[in-house]
Amino acid sequence: MIRDHEIAQLIQHEDQRQRSGLELIASENYVSEQVMAAAGSILTNKYAEGLPGKRYYGGCEWVDRVEQIAIDRLCQLFGATWANVQPHSGAQANAAVMLAALQPGDAILGFDLSHGGHLTHGSPVNFSGKLYKPHFYGVEEESGLIDWEKVAIKAHEVRPKLIICGASAYSRDWNYARLRQIADEVGSLLMADISHPSGLIATGLLNHPFPHCHIVTSTTHKTLRGPRGGIIMMSKDFPNPMGIVNPKGELRSMSSLLDSGVFPGTQGGPLEHIIAAKAIAFGEALEPAYHKYTRQVKANALALALSMTQRGYQIISGGTDNHLMLINLRNKSCTGKAAELALGKAHITINKNMVPFDTASPMITSGIRLGTPAITSRGLKESHMDQIAEWIDRAILGHDNDAALKSIGQEVCALMEPLPLFVA
């Protein structure tokens, strides 16, 4: 019970916003009551720097068990043999990997942010682009697809120490096997950041980065449907290829470098309340109901993409294999910014997004990104997707007509308000 009236009221408004609207931000989701309860639990009071059984503080006997359960369930979910569940976010997970695997100034090769990549994969405004020497691959202008042979050419040209695959706005699957061949040819480590599609990967609906990728990172709050946070995993440990030794002169394992990359490298005390919530979410993801959920996420995305295409919207890469789609609005006389604003007035939450080869700025953009993880958690099915596409189309075409947007908003709320926030 929150007694701070000011904050309680604001949380109440946000609760109402989440219940009444259509949440189409591809990176958002709704968690179960038990995940929320753990995230708000008494474990927030505990300091536990270190790892289970190896802490710098007393009194860790219970959080040790919580954290070990989280590690074990995560390894089971992804077929990993090693995991660290402490990163506070996906960005923190990626920072820890780079600290462990690279020296400042080393070359890295990632997917271009403006083509759908992520800030932490080498953007010049991020630590990854400031501390390391970033190079990028992108999609083809015609097809909107990544050409793996062009990635190979780029890798041979720049000889990166780390190749990063994974994206925030790419609706197609990844060829991890080909990327591993490329990494081996140039003597690079290969890291997959599966933050977006991790839930679909865990349930076998997309290619699996293991055993091809040396290291895999993810957030836990997108398709994985856990609390906000990050994770790092490996399917097989190996001696670090950088030749880093311990005080006895022995080559350190990659797992020990990654653990050190998280703590003390980039973080202090782990958030054991969030780790408990992660453990619960991983447990939920091991249940058959979660497989049903991820299949529905994918089916909903396919249905929404089809309905948008039928209304004349151009989806980058021509469709979707996963939970999201990136839509080019250049043929609709509406910028991404204007679409985001108009849809917001109609109680439909989306984000503006640059499209590949965009000439508009990141604050304006020529596109929008739509995703189905959150609406699927609320119980929506393929049969609802055409209605959603119709609302989006009406809102974009009438983006400067506030009365029309208000009327769409009333229809949206009539559908969404009676639905629960979380359907297992």
Residues that bind ligand DSN (CB under 6 A): 27, 118, 168
| Options 67, 112, 193, 340, the catalytic residue | 193
Terminal-to-terminal C-alpha distance of the chain: 25
Least Cα distance to 283 among 234, 225, 366 occurs for 225
Shortest spacing between CB 275 and ligand DSN, in angstroms: 20
Instruction: Tell me the helices (H) and strands (E) count for the chain, helix number first.
Output: 15, 15
Alpha helices in 229-369 (DSSP H): 254-260, 272-285, 288-310, 336-345
Question: Distance (Å, rounded) from C-alpha 231 to C-alpha 250?
Answer: 27
Name the residue whose CB lies closest to ligand DSN: 27
Shortest spacing between CB 170 and ligand DSN, in angstroms: 11
Quick one: 119 or 244, whose CB is closer to ligand DSN?
A: 119
Residue 349's DSSP bridge partners are 23
- Is 47 marked active-site? yes
Question: Distance (Å, rounded) from C-alpha 178 to C-alpha 193?
Answer: 16
Least Cα distance to 175 among 196, 154, 149 occurs for 149
Quick one: 27 or 86, whose CB is closer to ligand DSN?
A: 27
| Options 120, 203, 217, 219, the catalytic residue | 219
Quick one: 168 or 188, whose CB is closer to ligand DSN?
A: 168
- How many CA atoms lie less than 13 Å away from 86 in the CB half-sphere? 27
Q: What angle do CA 193, 290, 171 make, to 5 degrees?
A: 40
- Is 292 marked active-site? no
- Is 172 marked active-site? no
- Is 73 marked active-site? no
- Is 228 marked active-site? yes
Question: Distance (Å, rounded) from C-alpha 47 to C-alpha 402?
Answer: 50
| Options 47, 133, 349, 386, the catalytic residue | 47
The residue count of the chain comes to 424
- Is 345 marked active-site? no
Quick one: 52 or 371, whose CB is closer to ligand DSN?
A: 371
Quick one: 34 or 114, whose CB is closer to ligand DSN?
A: 114
Shortest spacing between CB 181 and ligand DSN, in angstroms: 28
Shortest spacing between CB 412 and ligand DSN, in angstroms: 21
| Options 49, 382, 386, 393, the catalytic residue | 49
User: Catalytic residues, which ones?
Assistant: 47, 49, 193, 219, 222, 228
